[in-house]
Structure 1
Amino acid sequence: MDITGGDEDLAGRPEDEPLMSERRNLANLAYRLLGSLTEAEDAVQEAYARWFAQAVERRAAVSNPPAWLTTVVSRICMDQLRSARMRRERYVGEWIPEPLPARAEWSALSHGSTATDPADHITLDESVEMAFLVVLDSMTPAERVAFMLHDVFRMPFNEVAGIVGRTPGACRELASSGRRRVAAARTRGARAQRRSAVVGEFRRAWQAMDVDALVRLLDPSVVAVADGGGRATASPTPVRGHLRVAEFLVRLAELAGRLDLLERTVNGQPGLVAMHGSQVLTVYAFDIEESHIRRIWAMRNPDKLRPWSRWGERPPRA
């Protein structure tokens, strides 16, 4: 069922407007659970389709429609997460969550376009940082859903239990386990201004192919991970250590030739976007502790760069 238009568009009725306004909250939940903007939008769309597929009488009997939608989206995401584990076994190379752009930075959106992109619904905060999403991805589906619903979206455990299919006590343990994973991975993150400065220094050192300058900016145990998904050239395994990563980056620069390397916000944090003309080739996210880069995530899979490609159709501001 199409809930976005048509003669029989039930979502277009005035009484449905408050329910449709929940789309932003649902998209925020689904993206954090799935790490994929595309799959999050599909999950939200499916939840609304199930809602409007019900008879009017059944919908009227639901005392809290937003809570109903939240439950359905969460269960859809749990099913997706379970099937994702099998899909990952067939995935080519490393898997990284889908990077999220910041709409305001792209000049293509200031040329009279009023179209709404799914990324517009996602709030940029600590829980969408790439480092946070990578930790979430290490959790079991039940652990991830319980932790997100309770610790991030502040849902009581008795309600979480109904979604996860466990007792409230079991959900409390799941959320606690997820909390420990996040705490173990959390670093003494640099302040926003310092993060931006480090990314800027990194960009200049990389463009200058200055191995020594890159080494100084990288943590000795830095790890660089690339996701090509079999659709773009990428290192099949992580590159580790500041000297190896620095030398690897310089080789990449030598092979790539002239590219525009732009400082842009990636998942709410300073990042880089590599472009050839108007084509977005790679999006880079970083985990920065104090003044050193601990993790580099390079997204090259074009399937995961669709929001960036749409927004890069016209040359972005330098």
Structure 2
Amino acid sequence: MTTDQYVITVDELRRRYAGGYEAVSGISFEVARGEIFALLGTNGAGKTSTVELLEGLAAPASGTVRVLGHDPYRERDAVRHRVGVMLQEGGFPSDLTVAETARMWSGCTSGARPVPEALDLVGLGHRAKVRVKQLSGGERRRLDLALALLGRPEVLFLDEPTTGLDAEGRRDTWDLVRALRDTGTTVLLTTHYLEEAEALADRLAIMHRGRIVTGGTPAEVTAERPARIRFELPEGVAPARLPLSLRAAAEGQRISIRTHDLQGSLGELLRWAAETNVRLKGLDARSASLEEAFLEIAQTDMAGV
């Protein structure tokens, strides 16, 4: 396993806090060069604690972390200039303009790209002379991203990158992240927007109670869960008339079918409807979503598992 294959490797990683609380409990994963990897987690799962270790902000209690072949905590000088970090909150001086803030940051960055270029990348070029305190929440997130990109990073850590952005700004950011990936940048993303993870991630891992409970491509993660077919039967057509293989949860005339063979079950349902001359109102068929997989994991807390 080399840095030509993986730029981030995590092996049996653990992190403990004062009092013995273990926030990260022996997790392992790898991030390949030039991929977008989403690290997701339920509340208190240990996601932020993990990312801080990857960024070199703390040392693990045990296990190993390697970023670009180096320990990001003990070999920080070998890693820091090759990595970009976008935190949840930048905390920049509010009286500086956007351009002044970027120039200040550029002065601390090796091989920084031109400030106008960085601002244009995130759609802030026209706001260069505006003071930071006058920016909207979404514009501040764009500034955070611009500063993370100043050093042309090989590895980019994005912590909730689209919080506060409107729909257009979110899509623009997605396009930029994809473009960075396509030019070779490796991106590790954390987000509470599951649609965002599903749209962007090449692979992902979901943490719960300090452990990774599932991972893979978004399609692989969702394929583990059943698809769903919903519709409403006309009055006078009893749910018991459905083919035995399709009988499922019913609330009056509203039917919900869960299946691991969406195409086969939907085909059987439509054939039955055509043969019996039954019109299915509000027919909706869809594969399981990442949100459903995530909520299923979160429900283990509710069940006390």
TM-score (normalizing by structure 2): 0.27
| More helix, by proportion | 1
> Comparing both structures, which one devotes a greater share of its residues to strand?
2
